[in-house]
A = this chain, B = another copy of it.
Amino acid sequence: MKLYDYTRAPNPRRVRIFMAEKGVEIPLETVDLGTDAQFDEAFTRRNPFRTVPVLELDDGTHISESIAICRYLEALYPEPPLFGSTALEQALVEMWSRRAELTGLLHAAEVVRNSIPFFADKALPGVEGGSPQIEALIERGKAGLERFFTAFDKQLENSEFVAGDHYSVADITTQVTIEFAGWRKIGIPDQCKNLARWYQQVSARPSAKA
């Protein structure tokens, strides 16, 4: 197997943290998003949606989408379970992962991709040109992140991890969302003490170095 990666980007980092938590090592190959290498013909054949990460299997099959790659690795290396164990745990991990993505990660992306000059005309991932930045999305993203911080702080008031008693892929997405928001110096608000406690805790795990 081989993982097409880009160190700075948030989505490949989700997979690298996941691999570190599983203790799995997979060779990495950099796709230089800094020079738009994801739009190359060769990479487009691997993933026509032109995003990283992509996992290449030994038979040449390609799996894209971070969570799809993580699920494949979960099936290959079930321990420790990062998508929940019982039916209910699995559902709650999926629920909190989705909440982290839809109410957190997507808003962080709105702020980052609509404000940094590098993303001018490619504000949407995987779209080569013709996707202009929309200034109103910066404010929408910031307001969304405020709601996200508040809601996740509340969840972490009575819960050690995002989806309950066990560390899971929902923690990874939440962690990467907070890091991504930090690109534009948006941090956890002072009053969100539970979220800050949790963030310190996950950032101290060895996987945070991935």
Residues of A at the B interface (CB closer than 8 Å) are: 48-49, 57, 61, 63-65, 67-69, 71-72, 75-76, 87-88, 90-92, 94-95, 98-99, 103, 124, 126-127, 130-132, 134, 136-137, 140, 143-144, 147, 151, 154
Contact = CB atoms under 8 A, between A and B. Distances in A.
Nearest to A55: B91
A153 to B, nearest CB: 12
21 contacts: A49-B103, A49-B151, A57-B88, A61-B88, A63-B88, A63-B91, A65-B94, A65-B98, A65-B99, A67-B98, A68-B92, A68-B94, A68-B95, A75-B87, A75-B90, A75-B91, A103-B126, A131-B140, A132-B136, A134-B136, A134-B140
Contacts of A103: 49, 126
Nearest to A59: B88
A71 B91 contact: yes
Given A63-B91, A68-B94, A134-B140, 12 more contacts: A57-B88, A63-B88, A63-B95, A64-B95, A65-B94, A65-B99, A67-B98, A68-B91, A69-B91, A76-B87, A103-B126, A132-B136
Nearest to A86: B75
Determine which residue in A61, A92, A137 has the highest number of CB atoms from chain B within 10 A of its CB, and name it.
Answer: A92
A98 B54 CA distance: 14
